Structure 1
Amino acid sequence: MTGPLLAADLVTLIGRGWDIRAASAVLARHQIRRGEIDKSADERLRAWAADIVPVFRAETVDARCAEINRLLAAGVGAPYLTTHDSLRPHLHFVSDAHDVIARVRAVTAGGLALFVVESEGARLGVCQREGCQVAFVDTSRNGRRAYCSAKCGNYDAVRRHRAPFSRR
């Protein structure tokens, strides 16, 4: 699940205003090994994050699949199974010998592809509350999430409820 969650955090970072320290923190939070980034890597990572945005904003399954196919073509090498660091078997989409940005590109593209297969093309989005730019991976039971959090959903519900009264 690292790939889609990392992708969502990178997309959110684009929406909130990119910062190299915040980008480094995102990589650390998702346990991207050797995830230190310098100014050059930061620029490449920000460009990749911008490339991911259309996946979360896609309005149809076909559009989402086309966007992920674009990412796969740009970011994935030859997938292979590994059990490094005493972890259970998992997929890597490029060799660990690649730099951190190549590995982030691979894990996000490959992870998004696997997630979209399992979720039948849905369950990725950006919060529907006006002004909120948080991207999310919907792991709810019913798969109909429209907001990044209950707080944003409640805020928007109150706004919609009050809207008719504000027109008086």
Structure 2
Amino acid sequence: MTGTALSVALVNLDGAGDWSRDAALGVLLDHHVRRADLTDGAAHELRTWTRALRRVFEAGSPDQRCDAVNALLAAGAGRPYLTTHDGLRPHLHFAPDSDDVVGRVKAVTAGSLSFFTVEAEGARLGVCARTGCGTVFVDTSRNGRRVYCTARCGNYDAVTRHRTARRS
């Protein structure tokens, strides 16, 4: 789920309006992206990719989510292969290690989102329902019905609805 968590972090970085080369580099390093040599041009390309990632979280149905993930796979995933480098157990790579950092990020996010979408049956990815929030999330709850990014946003929204109802 590394690529899925990376997708969330990149989309939320862009959504918060905090995008910069250094901030994006920090996200990559936090998610263990090796050789994160991010130039200004690469940071711009990564931000464009990040905006395409958001479409997966915004999808209103499993079919729309599958279409969004398929577009990412077509644009970002190469030929998958198994590897056991650095003493790690066997795992998939969707791009060769020789690709630049943006190519590797595209591959790992597209590939991971595809696996997650299959396992979650097209659900469990979303955008916070609180008006004005826009934070994306992965729903790891038991029942899979999460609609807010955090309990705080859910509580804020409940208080707002309560106050609006009382005024009416």
TM-score (norm 1): 0.96
Counterparts of 1:143-162 in structure 2, within 5 Å, are 143-162=144-163
Q: CA deviation at 1:140?
A: 1.2
Q: Does 1:5 align with 2:1?
A: no
Matches within 5 A, 1:1-168: 1-17=1-17, 18-167=19-168
Is there any run of 5+ residues in structure 2 with no aligned partner, and where?
A: none
Instruction: Give how far 1:155 is off.
Output: 1.0
Q: Secondary structure at the match of 1:144?
A: coil
Secondary structure at 1:125 match in 2 = strand
Rounded Cα–Cα distance in structure 2 between residues aligned with 1:89 and 1:139: 25
For residues 11-63 of structure 1, the C-alpha deviation after alignment (integer angstroms, 9 at most, x for no partner) is 11121112222211110111000113110110000000011111100001100
Which stretch has the larger CA shift, 134-143 or 99-108?
A: 134-143
CA RMSD between the two structures:
1.0
In structure 1, how many angstroms separate the alpha carbons of the residues matched to 2:30 and 2:90?
A: 21
The one-letter code of the counterpart of 1:30 is H
Q: Counterparts of 1:82 and 1:22 in 2: how far apart (Å)?
A: 30
* 4+ runs deviating over 6 angstroms: none
Q: Quick one: which amino acid aligns to residue 6 of structure 1? A: L
Aligned residues: 167
Identity score, percent: 57
Read off the aligned partner of 1:121 and give its amino acid letter: G
Structure 1 counterpart of 2:9, which letter? D
